[in-house]
Structure 1
Amino acid sequence: MKPASSLQKRLGLGLTLGMTLLWLGATVGAWVVVQHELNEVFDSALEETAQRILPLAVLEIGNRDEPRQARHIAPLKVRKEYLTYLVRGAKGEILMQSHDADPSIFNPLPVEGFTTTSRYRLYGASALREGVFIEMAEPLAHRREAAQEALFALLLPILALIPISLLGTWLFVHVSLRSVRAYRRAIETRGVGDLSPIKVDRLPAEIDPLAEAVNHLMERLRKALEAERSFTANSAHELRTPLAATLAHIQRLRREAPEGPLQVRAAKIETSLQALTRLSEKLMQLAKAEGGGLLSEAPQDLVPVLAHVVDECNHAAGQRVHVVLPAARSVLSAIDPDAFAILVRNLIENAMKHGAPDRPIEVSLSSQALLRVVNAGPVVPEPILRRLTERFVRGESGAQGSGLGLAIALTIAQGVNATIALVSPATGKQDGFEVIVQFVLGR
């Protein structure tokens, strides 16, 4: 799945790119206009220069002893000339030329008006009834150089404005999306079971209806979950008394019944009632795990709670559980002690039911609030391992159970912001099953 991109990034880059393209388009349009105006100015200068030189050239030629003899006009300073000229007769003979003029760049015969070659822009004019012609030449490279300098003068400010506009756009979008980021943080920081409405002021008009819809959806979901938990808890609670009474009657019936089929049927009924009683207890634990109240007001020490639960399990299972406690003898976490006891008891019961009966169960708690419960047994296949935390899902061991133990442990872990992982084979072993729970350390 392609990761989602940041709205701030998309808006910042999009707006900056759009403004840059608009600026470049405007710059190109301005450059075209400037280039056209430059050509008009250069043509005007070429024409005016020819009109001013031509009378002087005619006067100078008329005062010569030999008017038809070509003559170079010496410059006051030797420098590169952008404008060169030829003064010629009607047949093309050269009467006068600038010192740097190259006759090969001009037309073979004088031509009045503007003409353009591959390298020069030419202008011709005549005097004395078209007996004397002047042609001015200007290199096109000179005009291109002027146009390039004008283009650079237009582009340089844009190159400086691009990073400034990017920074300004980024800051503006960052400030504008401040309420959206606050809304995102409010969603990210709340716990799994927190379905209360999210209140964030001054959301954009495009986001505010979405936030309202999310709040309505969360309210409906909260009511549905509360109804489900209430039904589960009430049902389990109401079943406890009749189940206990029925179980007592069945046990008395077993003692009073003679040996035979009635005794066998009574034993089966007793087993079913005991399983139903355990299921009722699991449902009450699940309702407590989903109903909140999993965090205590102050950090609690997990070590004595773990030791007490292990002692209870060993009393019922014949010292099968081996526990390793941290050397510090004190591990603080914000989880409620009752919730922690329910989680540990479910993990140990799961290990007893599905682990090898002749192998011990290893329970350890580190000083970093890392709980591990390990039991021996066959390796659990990966497809089944991924689904074991779902409700009413059991492994392939064939042991009797409700399929709620790991689901209750996962619900409690999520409610206290702990992480839970199922591993098979167990860490450092060839077989077995391991549950690892990392709690948040208290301060």
Structure 2
Amino acid sequence: MLKSLQFRLLAWLIVPLLFMSFAHFATSYHDIQKNTQKIFDKLLITLAISISEHAISSDGDLLTEDVLEVIKNTTNDELYYKVIGPDNAFIMGYEDIPAPIDEFNILASNVKFYDATFLDRPVRVTAVKTLINNDTYQGWMTTYVAQTLLDREEYMQAFLIDDLYRIAILIIITSVLLSIGVSLALRPLKKVQQSVHNRSPADLQPIKHENLPKEIAGLVAELNGLLERLTAHLAFTKRFVENAAHQLRTPVTALLPQTELALRNAKSDRERIAFDKISKSATKIARLTNQLLNLTYAESISIGQYDFPPIDLADVAKETCYIITDAYPNANITQDIQPAPTFAIAMLIEEVIKNLLGNAIKHAGENVQIILKTEQRDGCAVLSVTDNGKGIPDEFKAKVTERFFRLKSDAKGSGLGLAIVAEIITSHQGKLTITTPSNGQGTCVECIFPNKQ
């Protein structure tokens, strides 16, 4: 996840958003707390003034039912009050309501707010001084009103929750929009990725980069430059292998009839044995040279863009099987040939069949039974060679198509047969599978070709 460019971009965008949201909430908390304090403090002033006016008009009598009803309807909190006369004499209310620690200056303000504890409960207290001059009192009268904090906390909590909801909705909507925006911004990069992913391993054509953002277009241009250099290097390598194979094939081809002639004219067993070894070695070199040429040809097809001609695998299989049985008259090959039309190069398909049948004859063991089969299946042309021989261990099935790989170091052959088969199948956009038959004995090599261009 941390390696995802989309995740990193979203993180760089959303983390600051979360930080700013937290800062906004902290500021809102402070503002809501301050405004809540102001609102409820004004209520306390109003109640204190009402109580002081009642105390003045009633000469200190208890609050009337009307005043008590007003106080009751004003808040759900517990309210406590105390009225002190000009000579600090207690007039009415709760005498134990604590006074402020520092006496406030009347010249500066006749209202003071402070926090205290009353009856073991935290309260907010306001003290209001009122100047009176009547027959009963002359001077400053102080009215204290204490209120518990339940209403304040509920009021502030409601605002904070509402603010949290708004912030959460804003974060969610913004995150979704950012995710969509980042996804749309990265879509050209994903298109390039998909274009590369859908290519065959041998397709080195330049990647199209029209209408791409300049940042991605620059990356694609560099990739195209790399592909061009790689194509040139592969072309040089293939030319070298092809030229070397041609140079080898010419003298080897000339050597074969000469060794056969010398073998027929040998005058002694010693000469016959020597010429026979030379003939077999020359034949092996000729076969290896042809394999290298076919491999180079198949690779050049993979890199290029070819329109394959229509053929029928059945026709190629019959002709190739005739050639193989002529070369290996003791081979036990059964043909199960059904029409299998596809688009391919017949010469390369012939090479595939030769390699598969040759491998089965040489490596499957003595008295092996081989089945050469062609058919149509699921809209594809299928060619398969099945034997009941020794089989290939599961751990080596993925490796046998590698160049020069052999199950045993002393095994016959060059190790190129199945590598050539795999390259030819790839060049035709086909699929190669190597499995063990259902009876658990031998090997089944299946080549699947599309029956359309």
Bucket of the pairwise TM-score, normalised by the shorter protein: 0.7 to 0.9
Identify the range of structure 1 (289-298 vs 175-184) with the bigger mean alpha-carbon deviation: 289-298
Identify the range of structure 1 (369-378 vs 273-282) with the bigger mean alpha-carbon deviation: 369-378
Among residues 5, 8, 17, which one is paired with 1:7 in the alignment? 5
Please state if 1:260 is matched with 2:234. Answer: no
Among residues 196, 215, 227, which one is paired with 1:218 in the alignment? 227
1:322 maps to amino acid: T
Given the superposition, is the C-alpha separation of residues 87 and 250 from structure 1 closer, same or farther in structure 2, using an over 3 Å criterion? closer
1:37 maps to amino acid: N
* Distance in 2 of aligned mates of 1:79 and 1:220: 90
* Distance in 1 of aligned mates of 2:126 and 2:52: 16
Please state if 1:74 is matched with 2:66. Answer: yes
Q: Which residue of 1 aligns with 2:98?
A: 107
1:235-314 correspondence to structure 2 within 5 Å: 235-292=244-301, 296-297=307-308, 300-314=311-325
Please state if 1:126 is matched with 2:129. Answer: yes
Q: Which runs of 5+ in 2 are unaligned?
A: 105-111, 133-137
* TM-fit CA distance, 1:9: 4.9
1:313-332 correspondence to structure 2 within 5 Å: 313-318=324-329, 320-326=332-338, 329=339, 331-332=340-341
Please state if 1:419 is matched with 2:431. Answer: yes
Q: Which residue of 2 aligns with 1:353?
A: 362
Contact 1:419 / 1:437 at 8 angstroms: preserved in 2? yes
* TM-fit CA distance, 1:388: 1.7
* TM-fit CA distance, 1:294: 8.2
Identity of matched residues, %: 25
* Distance in 2 of aligned mates of 1:176 and 1:433: 50
* TM-fit CA distance, 1:272: 0.8
* TM-fit CA distance, 1:441: 3.9
* TM-fit CA distance, 1:209: 4.1
Contact 1:38 / 1:147 at 8 angstroms: preserved in 2? yes
1:6-405 correspondence to structure 2 within 5 Å: 6-12=4-10, 15-16=13-14, 18-47=16-45, 49-50=47-48, 52-53=49-50, 56-62=53-59, 67=60, 69-75=61-67, 79-82=72-75, 84=79, 86-89=81-84, 95-96=91-92, 103=94, 106-107=97-98, 113-116=112-115, 117=117, 118-127=121-130, 128=132, 132-292=141-301, 296-297=307-308, 300-318=311-329, 320-326=332-338, 329=339, 331-368=340-377, 369-396=381-408, 398-405=410-417
Q: Which residue of 1 aligns with 2:107?
A: none
* TM-fit CA distance, 1:4: 8.5
Q: Which runs of 5+ in 1 are unaligned?
A: 98-102
* TM-fit CA distance, 1:187: 0.8
Contact 2:54 / 2:63 at 8 angstroms: preserved in 1? no
Q: Which residue of 1 aligns with 2:449?
A: 439
Contact 2:313 / 2:383 at 8 angstroms: preserved in 1? no
* Distance in 2 of aligned mates of 1:31 and 1:220: 63
Contact 1:296 / 1:336 at 8 angstroms: preserved in 2? no
2:407 maps to amino acid: G
* TM-fit CA distance, 1:232: 1.6
Identify the range of structure 1 (294-303 vs 133-142) with the bigger mean alpha-carbon deviation: 294-303
1:402 maps to amino acid: S
Identify the range of structure 1 (345-354 vs 71-80) with the bigger mean alpha-carbon deviation: 71-80
Given the superposition, is the C-alpha separation of residues 89 and 21 from structure 1 closer, same or farther in structure 2, using an over 3 Å criterion? closer
* Distance in 1 of aligned mates of 2:37 and 2:201: 73
* Distance in 2 of aligned mates of 1:181 and 1:371: 37
Contact 2:434 / 2:446 at 8 angstroms: preserved in 1? yes
* Distance in 2 of aligned mates of 1:182 and 1:411: 28
TM-score (norm 2): 0.82
* TM-fit CA distance, 1:283: 0.7
Count of residue pairs the alignment pairs up: 425
* Distance in 2 of aligned mates of 1:391 and 1:222: 20
Contact 2:361 / 2:368 at 8 angstroms: preserved in 1? no
1:86 maps to amino acid: Y
Given the superposition, is the C-alpha separation of residues 290 and 87 from structure 1 closer, same or farther in structure 2, using an over 3 Å criterion? same
How well do the aligned residues superpose, as a CA RMSD in angstroms?
A: 3.2
Contact 1:11 / 1:173 at 8 angstroms: preserved in 2? yes
Q: Which residue of 1 aligns with 2:109?
A: none
